[in-house]
């Protein structure tokens, strides 16, 4: 890790791989906007022994870390305190290293998504029909905040139905959740369709029948691309969705919530989102 004067608080995003993470750029933009001096770097951790590597960073004086794939669940395990939303998600994306040596964990992914939907895109969740594609860790992180906004219906569709069922069983008390396979979806239209699968990593889209897209449907991809539409965004546009949005705004919003946890100030996210889009 680079050497910094003691007066500058140090933060990092840890993951594997992490080299292409936009988090350093985003957090340094926030700090610039707030006229605060921090350092923020991307640190690739070895897959084995996450706790020991985090302890080392903590000993080196890191104040906080964002955690990305594949360590979010392990990050949850090493925390001595967790926020209710981290507790519910079973995953932590924001670690705070407290002066007494304790580690606090939070999960800002769900808040990042709902802020991007509501504040940046004026998309309403209450009384709407929502379809979520996928049943992995990404979905676990965003389910509770979405359900808290009381959609009329929230359906989780996944290739492996069992995985969706297990996931939904943890949230069933929170609202109107149901699960199905892609073939069982029928022709009911959804107001909001969220792609939370990993299909985009290989430039694919999940096997979704376009019948679920109506002329008012909004499609949202948790993934983002700066150099063009994601595969899902392109697919949704070509299938007549009212709009299709990628997850860059969510990325910036979850970062802003982490920044708030660490620094106690709320940043202007739209300026940072616009700058990121413009630069590519």
To the nearest 10 degrees (0 to 180), the angle between helices 269-278 and 23-33 is 130
Q: DSSP assignment of 154-209, as one string?
A: EEEE-SSHHHHHHHHHTTGGGS-EEEE-GGG-TT--EEEEEE-SSGGGGT------
Of 41 and 109, CB closest to ligand ATR = 109
**What tokens were used for 72?**
């979010």
Question: How far is it, in rounded angstroms, from Cα 120 to Cα 190?
Answer: 20
Question: What separation in angstroms does the CA of 219 have from each of 38, 68, 150, 205, 252?
Answer: 36, 24, 19, 12, 19
Near ligand ATR by CB under 6 A: residue from 198, 234, 242, 261: 198
From 108-116, 155-163, 169-177, 241-249, span contacting ligand ATR (CB under 6 A): 155-163
Of 62 and 167, CB closest to ligand ATR = 167
DSSP code of 264? S
* Active-site residue (options: 63, 72, 162, 163): 72
By rule CB under 6 A, what string of x and - marks binding of each residue 77-116 to ligand ATR? ----------------------------------------
Q: Residue 133 CB, nearest distance to ligand ATR (Å)? A: 7
Whether residue 163 lies in the annotated active site: no
Told to check if 23 binds ligand ATR by CB under 6 A, we report no
Told to check if 64 binds ligand ATR by CB under 6 A, we report no
Told to check if 156 binds ligand ATR by CB under 6 A, we report no
Q: Residue 2 CB, nearest distance to ligand ATR (Å)? A: 30
Of 40 and 71, CB closest to ligand ATR = 71
Question: How far is it, in rounded angstroms, from Cα 134 to Cα 175?
Answer: 18
Catalytic residues: 72
């Amino acid at each position: 890790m680079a050497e910094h004067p003691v007066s500058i608080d140090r933060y990092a995003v840890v993951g594997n791989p992490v080299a292409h993470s936009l988090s350093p750029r985003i957090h340094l933009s926030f700090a610039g906007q707030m006229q605060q001096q921090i350092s923020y770097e991307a640190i690739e951790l070895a897959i084995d022994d996450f706790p020991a590597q985090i302890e080392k960073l903590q000993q080196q004086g890191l104040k906080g870390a964002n955690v990305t794939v594949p360590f979010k669940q392990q990050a949850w395990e090493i925390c001595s305190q967790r926020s209710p939303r981290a507790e519910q998600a079973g995953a932590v994306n924001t670690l705070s290293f407290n002066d007494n040596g304790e580690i606090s964990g939070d999960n800002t992914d769900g808040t990042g998504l709902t802020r991007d939907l509501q504040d940046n895109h004026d998309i309403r969740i209450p009384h709407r029909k929502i379809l979520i594609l996928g049943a992995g860790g990404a979905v676990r992180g965003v389910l509770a905040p979405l359900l808290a906004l009381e959609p009329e219906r929230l359906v989780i569709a996944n290739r492996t139905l069992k995985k969706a069922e297990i996931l939904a069983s943890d949230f069933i008390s929170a609202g109107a959740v149901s699960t199905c396979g892609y073939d069982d979806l029928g022709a009911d239209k959804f107001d909001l369709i969220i792609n939370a699968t990993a299909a985009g990593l290989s430039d694919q889209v999940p096997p979704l029948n376009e019948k679920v897209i109506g002329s008012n449907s909004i499609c949202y991809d948790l993934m983002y691309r700066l150099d063009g539409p994601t595969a899902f965004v392109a697919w949704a546009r070509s299938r007549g969705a009212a709009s299709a949005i990628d997850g860059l705004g969510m990325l910036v919003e979850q970062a802003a919530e982490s920044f708030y946890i660490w620094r106690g100030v709320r940043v202007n996210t739209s300026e940072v989102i616009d700058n990121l889009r413009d630069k590519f």
